[in-house]
Structure 1
Amino acid sequence: MELKLYHDYYKNHIQDYELSEAQLAFTMHPKACIPLSEADGDRSSILALEDDELVSFFVLHRNDGVQPYSANRQAILLRAFSTDHREQGKGYAKRALAQLPQWIATHFTECNEIVLAVNLENIAAQGLYKACGFVDTGGRVMGRKGEQMIMSYAL
């Protein structure tokens, strides 16, 4: 698996990416994330590729995007994490998250923490994040789809 910054070369990969209605209850489709990243230099759309096929996607958001979730100015926010629903259950999400700390250390050298917000109703995602080393900070915020748990991974 390889993590890559989004580039227009991958536009067809994004168009072919599929999320179920259940997934869309908790995350945004990459098609909606890419324009936000293009308009905001603090957001980076990241693709997790397996044999040049897009299997997972997420956005890394620095600076003001982190502030509702952490007071740490060196933190980076993981948001809009998803796996193509046809690829779920194959370990891709876990592999992408396992590579993420080193990838961030290489590409965002100023960062010393990864934070994320996960919906309290999304038990499966909470389990995944915990299995990958994220810890519940005890913080809670209201998101557009309900209360969210703040989780952290120290780099």
Structure 2
Amino acid sequence: MITLSFYKSEDFEDLTSYTLDEQQSRFTAMPKATLEIIKEKNTGDKFPISIFYQNKAVGFFVLDFGKDKFELTENENSTLLRSLSINPDYQGKGIGKTAMIVLSDFVKENFPDCDEVVLAVNFNNKSAYNLYLKCGFRDEGKSREMIKGFQHLLSKRI
């Protein structure tokens, strides 16, 4: 069973014990670095989320309600999904896909005013792009150029 939960310090060891290969590392930040940035900035608008598989934290992402989301949407009731990663030992089991499908219910339950999740995915990260589309995210043809290349701007109504 795959569940989402707000990150707790008990998840730290599981979420910082894995590394991603060079290809995946180009497209996402690792949990440890992301948690350090959140702690350092302490803005209160970024919520780290742990992805659990059989009661073990095997993945991670952040729901960011800060101003960065306005680079992708004009919707004030949206959140930006960032820094998604899954422990490579658990990839290929549908964990990321299921996490993105149950994301809507998690957001509705914990952030009832939020009605949209937005994200940016690099043009070269085809597997992530296809995963998001399978999970209900829409590509309306919007993109932006960043340091690591062009990104698709995707959204999911909830």
Aligned counterparts of 2:132 and 2:146: Cα–Cα separation in 1: 18
Q: Which amino acid aligns with 2:6?
A: L
**Divergent runs of 4+, >2 A:** 36-40
CA contact (8 A) 1:18 1:86 kept: no
Find the residue that maps to 2:60 and give its secondary structure.
strand
**Identity of aligned pairs, percent?**
34
Q: Paired residue for 2:110?
A: 107
In the alignment, which residue of structure 2 is the partner of 1:26? 27
Superposed CA deviations along residues 76-108 of structure 1, whole A, max 9, x for unmatched, are 111111111121111100110111000000111
SS in 1 for 2:71: coil
Q: Distance in 2 between matches of 1:28 and 1:99?
A: 22
TM-score (norm 2): 0.93
For 2:21 and 2:89, the matched residues in 1 are separated by 9
> Which blocks of at least 5 consecutive residues in structure 1 are unaligned?
none
Partner Cα distance (2:55, 2:20) in 1: 19
Q: CA deviation at 1:56?
A: 1.7
1:75-86 residue pairs with structure 2 within 5 A?
75-86=78-89
Aligned length: 155
1:51 corresponds to which of 54, 58, 80 = 54
Where 1:66 maps in the other structure, the secondary structure is helix
Unaligned 5+ runs, structure 2: none
Q: Deviations over 1:99-147 (max 9, x none)?
A: 1000000111110101010001111111100100111022111223111
3-state SS, counterpart of residue 73 of structure 2:
coil
For 1:27-52, what per-residue CA distance to the aligned partner results, in whole angstroms no more than 9, with x for missing partners?
00001111222323111111101122
- 3-state SS of the aligned residue for 1:67? helix
1 CA distance for matches of 2:66 and 2:32?
Answer: 23
Give the conservation status (yes or no) of the 8 Å contact 1:45–1:60.
Answer: yes
Give the conservation status (yes or no) of the 8 Å contact 2:15–2:59.
no
Give the alignment's TM-score, normalised by structure 1: 0.95
Specify the code of the residue in structure 1 equivalent to 2:5: K
* 1:71 partner letter: E
Equivalent residue number for residue 37 of structure 1: 38
Aligned to 1:96, what secondary structure does the other structure show? helix
